[in-house]
Structures are given as C-alpha cells and as structure tokens.
Structure 1
Amino acid sequence: MKFEELRSFLDEKADQFNAPDFIENDPIQIPHRFTIKQDIEIAGFLAATISWGNRKSIIKSAEKMLDMMGNAPYDFVLNYTEKDLEDIQEKSVHRTFNGQDFAYFIRQFNRIYQEHESLESLFEVRDQEVNFLHAIERFRSSFLEPEKNRTHKHISSPYKNSSAKRIIMFLRWMVRKDKRGVDFGIWENIDQKHLSIPLDVHTGNISRKLGLVLRTQNDWKTVEELDLAIRKFDSDDPAKYDFALFGLGVTKELL
C-alpha cells in the first residue's frame, strides 16, 4: 500500500477498535472499575504488569489481586498491615508473578504514594526526549530498591533493549486523551505524542506485514523503528494505531 492508502487503512481500523466495547474483553477493564485517580493507577499498573498470555486469564488474575486488596487498591496500599502482606505472599497470582512479587509491589506503592500524589511524576518526559526510554528507567530507579530482587524482572528495562510492552501499554492507558472512553487520559502533564506502540508478537508481526518495521526482533530498537513509521501518520497521537495493529491481529485480516 502507498503511504496515504496505508494511513487511511490504519485510521479506519483504529477508529473501529477504539470503542467502549473494546473494554469488555481487555485487561483495561480492571482500572475501569474505579474512579479515584490513584485506584486507577494502581489497578492499571498491576493489570498491565501481568498482561501476558490469554486475556481471560489475565483479567481473572487481576481480579484476584483486587480481591486481596478488598477492591480498594489505594486505601489498601496506604493502610495494609504486615499480616496482610504475609497472607498475600503465600498466594499464587499469575504465572511467574507470585505473592512475593505482589507484596513487593504493594510496599513500593506505599512508599511512592507517601512521597507523590500520582505515579505521573515518576514518568515525566524531559526536554529533548522523544519517547519514554529514559522516563521508564527513571521510574525503575524510583520504584525498585537497589538490592537485587526476583521482582525486578517484572518491570522491564528498555536500557537492556526490552520492548517494555506492558509499561508502554500502561502509559497509553494513563496518557492518551480522546473521547472514546477506552484510555483514561488522567495524566495532564505528559504529552501523548511521546507514546509508543506496545510491541508484542502480534503487533510486531502485523507491523512487518504492513512494512512498518524491518527488524525481526521485538525489542526496544524495533519500538523506536515503529515510532518513526507511525508518527508520520499522526505525530500528535501515534499510540492510537495500537488499536489498529491489535485489531488486525485479532481479526487475522492480513493472514
């Protein structure tokens, strides 16, 4: 497809899938159960963190975490007892993300929210930065303790060339502003032009079929290659094309 044909095609697909009925079967339904900003952030970050594998399984595991927090994430993070965390550490959560990992996250959330009103301040993009490469690393430095811990593997590092798919997806949820009702857009101080596409097997394969990327690995270098392509279509809201690529992966329209 020529440039204008491809842009028109992707715009059409983004418009088709960026709709409220998308929420029902996607992990984004988890933070949509809340209205308080901090509840949305915590529920969203946890749901995004375990977003690998079957979507029904992800949602079920996220619901399990909400149940452990009494379906009040922010209140629980601020007011848990050591007994609460001891109980959580004994439970399974989702695949390799276990109760110990969950308890670690809760402790870190508690510390962060004692110092910051919102997670947004930990992800701010600085002057001259074009994406979230450095912002994610600054967040990792703030959120993770310096000592090595098994839980560190659950927050990917683009400095190590990870595509950081789950964090990028969480950032889309928090930052993107439109009137479709899917993404929240509750972070006022970060421009959505810096967002990237959450890159996984499906979005990577579709991107290659469409000639948007040439690299065969799904890593951070490919995220940046895809950035260059999609920002030519819409430099103000590039992440809307996540809906197009995801939708094409689900419908298998290009197979």
Structure 2
Amino acid sequence: MPPRSSPSTGLSPSDARRLLPCLTSFMASTDSRARIAFDPLEFPRRYENPRDIEVAGLLAAALAYGRADLFRPKVDALLQRMGRSPAAFVRELDVAGARELLGGFVYRFNVGTDVAVLLLGMGRALREHGSLEALFVQGLETRGSWHGALDAFTTALRDVPMEPLRRALGPERGLQHLLPSPLGAGAAKRLNLYLRWMVRGPDGVDLGIWKRVRPSALLIPLDTHIGRISKHLGLTRRNDLSWRTAEEVTASLRVLDAEDPVRFDFALCHYGMSGVCPTRPVRENCARCLLRPACSIGRETVKAGRARATP
C-alpha cells in the first residue's frame, strides 16, 4: 500500500544551500552521452515516433534488471524481431504471434508468457487509448496519486486472457516481478525509471514525449545506488528501498528543484554503477569527488585518512 502520511524530508535549508552547487557541478562533469551506451535508455532512443518510443521504452525498462551485459542482448533481440515499429507490432500482436516471438524466451525470473502479457497489454492500450501516456493519465486522474496511477497502469496492462497464453507458451513465472499488480510497498524502480524517460526532457538524457504529465510529479527511481548516495547526501534517513524512501528522497530533491526534482537521477545512479562510489568508501575517490562537501561519508573518510597520515 502507498504511504498514508506525507513524506518527510531530511534536507534542511542550510543542507540544500550546500548541496545544490555540488550537484550542479557534479552533473556538469558527467558525460551523459557516453553513459547512455550503458543504460537501457539506449533502446527507446533508437526511435522517433512517440508510440514506438513508449513501447520500446517500457519493454526495455521492464527487463532492465540484473547485469546490463545480460539483459541488453535480450531486449535488443526482441526489438530487432519486432521490426521498424514496435508500436505497430504490438497493435497487431496475437497469441500466435507471441508464441512465434517468445517461444523459449528466458531471462532470469521471466519467461515468454510474462513478456507476452506486457506486449499484448501494450497493444490493447494503444488500440483502446491511442497511447500508453493516455492510459497512465487515466489512472492518474482516477486514482489521484502517483502510486495509484502506476497501480492502475500495470493492472490495465495485465488485463489480457491468460489461458490461451498458457496453452501457447506455458505458465507465467515472474509476471509480478516484470509488471507488478498490485503495486505494493516497493519502490517500483523500473516503472519510475520508465516514467522519467517519458516525462522529463527532451534533453541530453530523457525523451520528454509525454506532455500531459509534469516532471514535478515524478518519483525518483530508487535502487541500491541511489539509496546509498541519497543517505550520504542527507536526502533520506531511511535504510530500505521502499516507496516511502523514494518519496522521502524525492521530497528532499524538490527542495533543490521543485519543478524537476529527478533530473539528478541519471548522473547519481551511473556514478554508483561505475564503482567510483562503492558500498565501502575509497579515500582516494572521496578526496576527488565533487559531492564531498555535502557528503557525510566522504568528509569522514577523507578526515580519517588525514588523521592516520599525521605522525
């Protein structure tokens, strides 16, 4: 269930004044173009038509878990077989087509039946609503909250006849992991990542093709990297990777930028993924980090290193 109380923010005005220039310099130093090659965002960026972008994006985000060198070939192979227009492909997709595309498909927790539900659900959404954006906005207007909108979105996508799919492809295995419904108390990282791609921008990172949703409404795509760095920067006091924690981090980021709070996500996440900011701090890395003036762990690590070096 979504949290019942408003999220708190661990960021004081003085913390915000210290953190914002650090984050601004940090983002300016990030080579976003180079990092996109290592990000599932590369897949929707291949397309120009908004409907192709949103279909390719949701498929890529849904499968973007585990090691990038393992999920990227899976996504790439599916998109290649779906042809020049993923949107046209899913609009016309039926159970026989799903069996042809996904027979034998396995990626970690997911099998072909799981992915078939996602593709058939997107096809139905395009036929009935015209776009995935329209489906999401309907849930946002009906439910009135971000959590409720996402829950309505995934529930609608999963509303496909299962027995014909099971006969064609076998039983589902990780459908709740691929497309959670009900959404639950988790941070829904990959779904919020997808929404960031669709809503923010267009800029050097995100695509900004959804015009009916404001970037200010986005929730941070919370994973282990963002969770760890957010704690170091004072954006949250929480230790778990829950929806509540994502709300608290986002509330702190809104103190820095009320209109576009998740613009910092791409740079921070890739910083954690790069290994430069590991779970156990490395003094040499902390000493060079542009975020150190605002980072409690970085300051302590460098201070401790200097103390040990003093005779």
Assess same fold via TM > 0.5: yes
Alignment-derived partner of residue 142 in structure 1: 156
- For residues 21 and 200 of structure 1, what CA distance do their matches in structure 2 show? 21
Matched residue type, 1:107: L
Moved more, 165-174 or 22-31: 22-31
> Shift of residue 142 of structure 1?
1.6
Alignment-derived partner of residue 73 in structure 2: 60
The counterpart of 2:233, out of the listed 199, 210, 214, is 210
- For residues 187 and 91 of structure 1, what CA distance do their matches in structure 2 show? 34
1:162 corresponds to 2:176: no
Give deviations 1:26-64, integer Å, cap 9, x for gaps: 110011111111111111000000111122222211102
Query: Which protein is bigger by CA-based radius of gyration?
Result: 2
| Aligned partners of 2:202 and 2:209 also within 8 Å | no
Matched residue type, 1:69: M
TM (norm. structure 1) is 0.89
| Aligned partners of 1:169 and 1:198 also within 8 Å | yes
1:247 corresponds to 2:260: no
Q: Any unmatched runs of 5+ in structure 2?
A: 1-13, 163-171, 282-311
> Shift of residue 158 of structure 1?
7.7
- For residues 101 and 143 of structure 2, what CA distance do their matches in structure 1 show? 42
The counterpart of 2:216, out of the listed 190, 193, 209, is 193
- For residues 193 and 156 of structure 2, what CA distance do their matches in structure 1 show? 19
1:23 corresponds to 2:36: yes
Alignment-derived partner of residue 147 in structure 2: 133
Matched residue type, 1:154: L
Alignment-derived partner of residue 113 in structure 1: 126
Matched residue type, 1:202: H
1:94 corresponds to 2:107: yes
- For residues 247 and 46 of structure 2, what CA distance do their matches in structure 1 show? 32
> Shift of residue 226 of structure 1?
0.7
The alignment yields a C-alpha RMSD, in angstroms, of 2.4
Alignment-derived partner of residue 176 in structure 1: 200
- For residues 159 and 85 of structure 1, what CA distance do their matches in structure 2 show? 25
| Aligned partners of 1:14 and 1:242 also within 8 Å | no
- For residues 23 and 180 of structure 2, what CA distance do their matches in structure 1 show? 28
Flag the 1:160–1:253 CA change in 2: closer, same or farther, 3 A. Answer: closer
Matched residue type, 2:124: R
Q: Any unmatched runs of 5+ in structure 1?
A: none
Alignment-derived partner of residue 230 in structure 1: 253
Matched residue type, 1:25: F
Alignment-derived partner of residue 2 in structure 1: 15
Matched residues, number: 253
| Aligned partners of 1:11 and 1:244 also within 8 Å | no
Matched residue type, 2:154: R
- What secondary structure sits across from 2:127 in the alignment? helix
- For residues 199 and 122 of structure 2, what CA distance do their matches in structure 1 show? 19
TM (norm. structure 2) is 0.74
Alignment-derived partner of residue 64 in structure 2: 51
